[in-house]
C-alpha cells in the first residue's frame, strides 16, 4: 500500500505533481513510512499529525481511496476486517493509530463502550436538548401538583410533546423530581 502525502500535513490533492495547498512536491510513502513521518508520541498514544476527518480520525489516501489510518493499521497487521465490524479505540482518542489501542467491534459495541465511559451526550450535554435538569425537576413538581401540560408548555416555551415524556420519566431519567406515570383524563360528556 502506498499513498501520496504532503509535508504540510493536509489531505493530499493532486496539482501537477505537487500539493494543491502549499505546492510542496508529492512523494510516494508506504503505510509504515507514513506512520513514521506523520505521527508523534503523546503519552501511550501515537497521534496522526497529517489529514483528519471532521470528527478528528486520521485520514490518508491509498491508491486513490481515502481510508481511516487506524483501520489501515489494523488491517495491515491482522488482515481484512470482517463484515459489519469496525476498528475501535480503547484510548478514545480519534487520531491515535497505536495498534495496541485498536480493537474490532460492531457499532453496538462502540455505543456500549461510549455509554460505559460516559462520553455520550445525555441531558443538557445533548446539543438538541430543549430543557435542562433543573427545569425538568421544576416541570415534574408542577405537573405532579396539577398544573396542566398546556400551561407548562406556555411557561417554559416548549411543546407539550417535549414535556410529557420528561414528566413521565421516558426522557430525562436521571434528572430527579417526582414522576407522574399516568394521568387519566376525566370525561366530561362534551364532544
Q: What is the 3-state secondary structure (H, E, C) of 13-46?
A: CEECCEECCCCCECEEEEHHHHHHHCEEEECCEE
Q: Is the pLDDT of residue 150 over 50?
A: yes
pLDDT digits (tens, 9 = 90+) for 36-65: 888 999 999 999 998 888 889 998 877 667
CA-to-CA separations, 53 to 17, 68, 72, 118, in angstroms, rounded: 23, 8, 15, 23
The pLDDT of residue 137 is: 92
Q: φ and ψ at 96, to 5 degrees?
A: -75, 130
CATH class, 2-116 region: alpha beta
Residue 141 pLDDT grade (very low, low, confident, very high; cuts 50, 70, 90): very high
| Ranges in the chain annotated CATH 3.90.75 | 2-116
**Res 111: pLDDT:** 87
What percent of the chain lies above the pLDDT cut of 70?
74
Reported confidence tier of residue 78, pLDDT bands at 50, 70, 90:
very high
Q: What is the mean pLDDT of the chain?
A: 80
Which distant-in-sequence residues (6+ apart) come within 8 Å of 86 by Cβ?
71, 104, 105, 106, 107, 110
pLDDT band at 16 (very low <50, low <70, confident <90, very high): very low
- 3-state secondary structure (DSSP) of residue 5: strand
Name the grid cell of 11: 489531505
Q: What is the pLDDT of residue 14?
A: 45
pTM for the complete prediction? Answer: 0.57
Amino acid at each position: 500500500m502506498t499513498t501520496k502525502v504532503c509535508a504540510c500535513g493536509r489531505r493530499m490533492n493532486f496539482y501537477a505533481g505537487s500539493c494543491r495547498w502549499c505546492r510542496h512536491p508529492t512523494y510516494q510513502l508506504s503505510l509504515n513510512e507514513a506512520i513514521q513521518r506523520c505521527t508523534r508520541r503523546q503519552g501511550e498514544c501515537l497521534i496522526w499529525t497529517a489529514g483528519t476527518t471532521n470528527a478528528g480520525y486520521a485520514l490518508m489516501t491509498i491508491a486513490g481511496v481515502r481510508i481511516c489510518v487506524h483501520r489501515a493499521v489494523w488491517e495491515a497487521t491482522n488482515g481484512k476486517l470482517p463484515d459489519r465490524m469496525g476498528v475501535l479505540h480503547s484510548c478514545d482518542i480519534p487520531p491515535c493509530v497505536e495498534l495496541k489501542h485498536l480493537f474490532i467491534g460492531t457499532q453496538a459495541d462502540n455505543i456500549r463502550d461510549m455509554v460505559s465511559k460516559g462520553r455520550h451526550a445525555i441531558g443538557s450535554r445533548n446539543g438538541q436538548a430543549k430543557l435542562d435538569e433543573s427545569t425538568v425537576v421544576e416541570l415534574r413538581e408542577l405537573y405532579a401538583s396539577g398544573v396542566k401540560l398546556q400551561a407548562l408548555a406556555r411557561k417554559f416555551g416548549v411543546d407539550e410533546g417535549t414535556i410529557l415524556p420528561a414528566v413521565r420519566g421516558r426522557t430525562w431519567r436521571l434528572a430527579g423530581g417526582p414522576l407522574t406515570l399516568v394521568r387519566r383524563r376525566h370525561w366530561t360528556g362534551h364532544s
